[in-house]
Amino acid sequence: MPTEIPDIVISRLPVYLRALERLTQEGQEVTSSHELGRRLGISSAQIRKDLSHFGGFGKQGTGYKIAFLKEQLRQVLKVEREWNVVLVGAGDLGSAIAHYRGFSDRGFHIISVFDNSAEKIGRKLSTYDIEPMSQLDEFVTEHDIRIAMIAVPAEHAQQVADTLVKAGVKAILNYAPINLSVPEGVHVQYIDPVLHLQRMTYYLSE
């Protein structure tokens, strides 16, 4: 059995992948753990250790072929494929998310948007028709959706999450400023920009 990879290692792989993509854009074809580490502010030892969990991707003396390493990381992370996701919430925040190009550029396609406000249902949000929440369950099941984004007010987020999980969603990107409780096996990541700002003000002098 393959030994369990620590979550913290997995969480760094997308950062490595992003840096490698940047290096490619800059026209580079080979890199080393030292160069990558310098760019990311991480020790070279950590990068080598992290990568070694998945195999030997480099060559002693020369480093890593960027194209190859990128491909390997994409496969490990399962982002070499395209993913369909649903977005729940068509308010200010949902609207911003729906208009953001970065998701489909990088393989995550929003295929439907849901909201419970009678006046929004049927209207367009970016290129999407806003669907009623009552159809969320059925839609997720039928399209075998694994990933959802929640952009509803905090007080509805848990209930939306429950519906999503019941319908089979296994990964939730939660923009509501609240911790969700989900069963084992369901993954949640949080985005709350204010929280990031609050992590920095501590260090600011008067």
Partner DNA sequence: TAGATTGTTAATCGATTAACAATC
The site that binds its own copies (CB under 8 A) totals a number of residues, namely: 57
Note whether 183 binds its own copies by CB under 8 A: no
Residue 15 contacts which entry, its own copies, DNA, none (Cβ below 5-8 A, type-dependent): its own copies
| Of the candidate residues 99, 123, 124, 166, the single one contacting its own copies (CB under 8 A) | 99
Stretch that binds DNA, among 16-24, 27-35, 71-79, 184-192 (CB under 7 A): 27-35
Closest CB to DNA among residues 70, 120 = 70
Torsion from C-alpha of 80, 82, 83, 88, nearest 10 degrees: 130
Closest CB to DNA among residues 37, 132 = 37
- Token representation of residue 25: 């854009």
| Of the candidate residues 78, 119, 127, 183, the single one contacting its own copies (CB under 8 A) | 78
The site that binds DNA (CB under 7 A) totals a number of residues, namely: 25
Closest CB to its own copies among residues 79, 121 = 79
- Which residues contact residue 39 at a Cβ distance below 8 angstroms, ignoring those fewer than 6 apart? 19
Q: What whole-number distance in Å separates Cα of residue 70 and Cα of residue 39? A: 16
Nearest one of 141, 143, 144, 174 to 157, comparing CA atoms: 174
How far apart are CB 33 and DNA at their closest, in Å? 4
Note whether 30 binds its own copies by CB under 8 A: no
Sheet holding 171-174, edge to edge: 124-125, 128-132, 108-115, 83-88, 147-150, 171-174, 187-190
Angle at 59 between CA 56 and CA 42, to 5 degrees: 75
- Token representation of residue 157: 């987020």
Note whether 118 binds its own copies by CB under 8 A: no
Residue 4 contacts which entry, DNA, its own copies, none (Cβ below 5-8 A, type-dependent): none
Q: Are 162 and 140 in contact (CB under 8 A)?
A: no
Residues in the site for DNA, rule: CB under 7 A?
6-9, 32-34, 42-46, 48-49, 51-52, 56-64
